[in-house]
Chain A
């Protein structure tokens, strides 16, 4: 299941960065992949739309310096919370 989430997240990142998905490693940051500033915010938006989740606001919006693995973990956490809330309506 986690692999599937990771694959979907990596596909979204690959599309934004116009990269071969195979070049994305769990330890890469968005910044390493050339995704900074507004582009990073766009990736977050694409992920939220794709999974129908909302990330909490992070201090200083540091998504571009976090690793892709931490993004995948954040998605998984949000999905788990949504499942626990029992088909949450928001």
Chain B
């Protein structure tokens, strides 16, 4: 990261989530803190013919139509439904009124998603190829496009600043949040609505994941020697980022500070992770935040539960932190909310904000057998009350892309 004058600090003043642990950021955070896993048998009309057995799915109690007008609702893929509901929660919590003082003009929207409107794509493909229908639904394009979530949030709240989607597979949310923070830092916006969303548990996508042979058939066991792969999830996490002075001037409740960011690419393999690239992203984020390794108490790990990720990420943390690695609390909340791909960094940021705010670190669930190649303190199975001064949130994507956030307690 080039060093820029750090006079413009960025804080979080609202957060919202739709996740396998329920509707709302608090439902997600309380579930994670208590170590409750939302991984269960796959609920899907084609489950009987799929090899995928388990997933972390948003509960059926989520009502997409709640508080959304029908003319908007018909425009939305499930991906955008999640994003719009999470955005409403975050914006409500922030207390911002975008119609006042032309604030909408100074507000950006940056939303990460791995694949965008996958349910719509899958439905329309089935219709065209499977049922030989001669026509696709006329709203297919506006539902499928990867920027649909960002655009729908912009339209719903009159947000007229820089607005776009970011796609980097499993790092999409972190890359999006980083872009949003940088827009505020560089003076291009005073407020940004940002995060990640994903809803891709379709027949086609599940078959594609099966073929890659990286899915666990039991549950997600990050850092445990008996880990058998990742468990797919879905959901959205959306945040309101705000210039510190702007938040202070209106007396807003500040949840945490986005203090630094790090982004690197491995430039090695399209799927196999690389410790050097991941470590460099963590070191960048700390340097950008003005943090020494000793200042960091917690890392929310990428922690997918694959053989390759968990041992490589452990080596990366040791590379970036040296001897302080043994004093860190490191946990993978994917053991509970699953791997929501382009939304995962956003769901995990809810956990990091909770940890900073409530001085409580969520556990790594299902960690029952130590792996000698994973030798850090992963907070196994039971959460821990402890002060957290600063934390990192790691996301590493297929394609060798690394995006790390450094967060501090609210100033």
Interface 9-residue window, one of A6-14, A21-29, A36-44: A36-44
In the assembly, what is the distance between CA of A41 and CA of B269, in Å?
Answer: 15
- A57-B215 in contact (CB<8A): yes
| Nearest-CB residue, chain A, relative to B213 | A61
Contact B213–A38 (Cβ < 8 Å):
no
Distance to closest chain A CB from B363 (angstroms): 23
Question: Restricting to A15-62, which residues have a CB under 8 Å from any CB of B?
Answer: 37-38, 41, 44-45, 54, 57-61
* B contact residues around A41 at 8 Å (CB): 211-213
Q: Which residue on chain B has the smallest CB distance to residue A37?
A: B272
In angstroms, Cα B215 to Cα A58, docked, is: 10
Q: Which of B266-286 contact A (CB under 8 A)?
A: 269-272
Whole-angstrom distance between the Cβ of B270 and the nearest chain A Cβ: 7
Residue of A whose beta carbon sits closest to that of B51: A57
Q: Could you say which residues of chain A place their CB within 8 Å of the CB of B227?
A: 60
B315: interface (CB < 8 Å): no
State which of A37, A60, A63, A90 has its C-beta within 8 Å of the C-beta of B228: A60
Q: Whole-angstrom distance between the alpha carbons of A63 and B51 in the complex? A: 18
Tell me the bound Cα distance from A63 to B307 in angstroms: 13
Q: Are A37 and B271 in contact (CB under 8 A)?
A: yes
* Chain B: CB-nearest residue to A54: B51
Contact B269 A57 (CB under 8 A): no
Are A37 and B307 in contact (CB-based, < 8 A)?
no
Closest to A61 in B: B213
In the bound complex, CA of A37 to CA of B270 (Å): 10
Query: In the complex, A13 Cα to B51 Cα: how many Å?
Result: 25
Please, how many angstroms separate the alpha-carbon atoms of A60 and B228 in the complex? 6
- Which residues from A are CB-within-8-Å of B272? 37
B161 within 8 A of A: no
- B205-227: CB near A (< 8 Å → 1, else 0) gives 00000111111010000000001
Give the residues in chain A near B271, CB-CB below 8 Å.
Answer: 37-38
Closest Cβ of chain A to B223, distance in Å, is 14
Whether B213 lies near A44 (C-beta < 8 A) is: yes
Q: Are A61 and B214 in contact (CB under 8 A)?
A: yes
Judging by beta carbons under 8 Å apart, are A37 and B215 in contact?
no
Is there an interface contact between B269 and A58, defined as CB atoms closer than 8 Å?
Answer: no
The interface residues of chain A lying within 8 Å CB-to-CB of B214 are 61
Bound together, the chains give a CA A63 to CA B212 distance in angstroms of: 12
Residues of A within 8 A of B210 (CB): 57
The complex places the Cα of A63 from the Cα of B213 at a distance, in Å, of 10
- Residues in B whose Cβ lies below 8 Å from that of A37: 269, 271-272
Say yes or no: is B362 at the interface (Cβ < 8 Å to chain A): no
Please name all residues of chain B whose beta carbon is closer than 8 Å to the beta carbon of A61 when the two chains form the complex: 213-214, 229
- Bound-complex Cα distance A57 to B229 (A): 10
Q: How many Å from the CB of B13 to the closest CB on chain A?
A: 43
How far apart are the CA atoms of A58 and B210 in the complex, in Å? 11
**How many angstroms between the C-alpha atoms of A77 and B211 in the bound complex?**
20
Q: Please give me the residue from chain A that is nearest to B307 by CB atom.
A: A60
Q: Is the CB of A59 within 8 A of B228?
A: yes
* Interchain nearest-CB distance for A88 vs B (Å): 13
The reply to whether B270 and A38 contact each other, CB–CB distance below 8 Å, is yes
Are A60 and B229 touching (Cβ within 8 A)? yes
Q: What CA separation (Å) do A38 and B214 show in the bound complex?
A: 11
Give Cα distance in the complex from A38 to B400, angstroms: 14
The residue in chain A whose Cβ has the minimal distance to the Cβ of B229 is A60
B212 smallest CB distance to A (angstroms): 6
CB distance A57 to B270 under 8 Å?
A: no
Task: Give Cα distance in the complex from A83 to B210, angstroms.
Answer: 24
CB neighbours (8 Å) of B306 from chain A are 60
User: How far in angstroms is the closest Cβ of chain B from A82?
Assistant: 16
Whole-angstrom distance between the alpha carbons of A81 and B401 in the complex?
42
Taking A37-B272, A41-B211, A57-B51 as given, write out 15 further A-B residue pairs in contact, using a Cβ cutoff of 8 Å, ordered by the A residue number: A37-B269, A38-B270, A41-B212, A54-B51, A57-B210, A57-B213, A57-B215, A57-B217, A58-B213, A60-B228, A60-B229, A60-B306, A61-B213, A61-B214, A63-B213
Can you list 18 A-B contacts with CB-CB less than 8 angstroms, sorted by A residue number?
A: A37-B269, A37-B271, A38-B271, A41-B212, A41-B213, A54-B51, A57-B213, A57-B217, A58-B213, A59-B228, A60-B227, A60-B229, A60-B307, A61-B213, A61-B214, A61-B229, A63-B213, A90-B49
